[in-house]
């Protein structure tokens, strides 16, 4: 697991590339924000997380798969990741930020990701925040 990177992953690079092509400028991995979001748009007060389906327990085919060996460990680890993700989302909301998640499996449809990015970043600030699971 030492070889698993927490930043500059292929899914993250895809979302960054799409956002940049669309003309948006952002900051990377702001450690002063809860959860260290992958992309941060300070002027808009919006943050984007790019999650791997397996590591964050997404409900797609790749996310529900648990390795056969040491199942208890993996269930506990993925559950901790999900709890940490939700805590970061709640903390960001409390600070007045909006956040969303793009999942690794969604990135196959790049036009859909671009629509999602555009909709999230153009959305007017509301008291309601977005935390999509799919």
Strand partners, 40: 27, 47
Q: Percent of the chain at pLDDT above 90?
A: 67
Residue 126's pLDDT is 57
pLDDT of 134 above 50: no
Number of domains composing the chain = 1
What is the reported pTM?
0.85
Per-residue model confidence as pLDDT tens digits over 26-79: 999 888 999 999 999 999 999 999 999 998 989 887 777 888 899 999 999 999
Q: Identify whether 107 is part of a domain.
A: yes
Q: Identify whether 5 is part of a domain.
A: no
The domain that contains 50 carries what CATH number? 3.40.960.10
- Its domain, for residue 98, covers 10-122
Per-residue model confidence as pLDDT tens digits over 6-20: 677 899 999 999 999
Q: Please give the Cα distance from 62 to 85 (Å, whole number).
A: 18
DSSP state of 125: P
Q: What are the C-alpha distances in Å from 3 to residues 6, 10, 35?
A: 10, 14, 21
pLDDT band per the 50, 70, 90 thresholds, residue 124: confident
């Amino acid at each position: 697991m030492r070889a698993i990177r927490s930043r500059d992953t292929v899914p993250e690079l895809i979302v960054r590339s799409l956002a940049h092509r669309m003309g948006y400028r952002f900051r990377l991995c702001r450690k002063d924000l809860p959860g260290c979001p992958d992309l941060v748009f300070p002027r808009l007060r919006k943050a984007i997380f790019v999650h791997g389906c397996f590591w964050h327990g997404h409900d797609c085919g790749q996310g529900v798969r648990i390795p056969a060996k040491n199942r208890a460990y993996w269930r506990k680890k993925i559950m901790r990741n999900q709890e940490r993700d939700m805590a970061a989302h709640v903390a960001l909301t409390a600070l007045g930020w909006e956040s969303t998640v793009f999942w690794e499996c969604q990135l196959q449809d790049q036009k859909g990701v671009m629509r999602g990015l555009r909709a999230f970043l153009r959305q007017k600030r509301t008291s309601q925040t977005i935390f999509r699971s799919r």
